[in-house]
């Protein structure tokens, strides 16, 4: 099986629900960080974000086996959240731990 980096971008208020949904399907460590997204695509923005032009989001990442992506994405889709979630998958060519 090949490993992939699965990243979810969600509203900051939805990060906990998205993280819990992922944990139900995967034991992999989750990495979460706050993001400020500047752009012109406001389809996911709340009214205040549309006015300021700045979207407050959280990114949640995990490395997982490629065959688990579908189940994890489905769990996030079913999670209780207020806003849309964007996601992407990229292959992991190498990884390791430096002690």
Segment 45-67, tens digit of pLDDT: 666 565 566 678 899 999 999 99
Residue 21 burial (10 A CB sphere; 0-12, 13-18, 19+):
buried
Q: With contact defined as beta carbons under 8 Å apart, do 94 and 63 qualify?
A: no
Domain residue ranges in the chain: 3-91
- Is the CATH code 3.30.70.120 the one for domain 3-91? yes
pTM for this entry = 0.87
pLDDT number for residue 49: 63
Maximum distance among all Cα pairs of the chain, rounded to whole angstroms: 46
Per-residue pLDDT of the chain (99 residues; tens, 9 = 90+): 799 999 999 999 999 999 999 999 999 999 999 998 876 666 666 665 655 666 788 999 999 999 999 999 999 999 999 889 999 999 999 999 999
Copy the structure tokens of residue 1: 């099986």
């Amino acid at each position: 099986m090949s490993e992939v980096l699965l990243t979810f971008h969600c509203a900051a208020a939805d990060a906990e629900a998205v993280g819990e949904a992922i944990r139900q399907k995967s034991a992999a460590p989750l990495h979460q960080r706050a993001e400020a997204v500047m752009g012109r695509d406001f389809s996911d923005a709340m009214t205040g974000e549309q006015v300021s032009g700045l979207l407050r989001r959280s990114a949640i990442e995990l490395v997982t086996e490629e065959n688990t992506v579908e189940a994890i994405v489905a769990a996030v889709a079913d999670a209780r959240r207020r806003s849309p979630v964007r996601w992407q998958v990229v292959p992991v060519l190498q990884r390791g731990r430096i002690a």
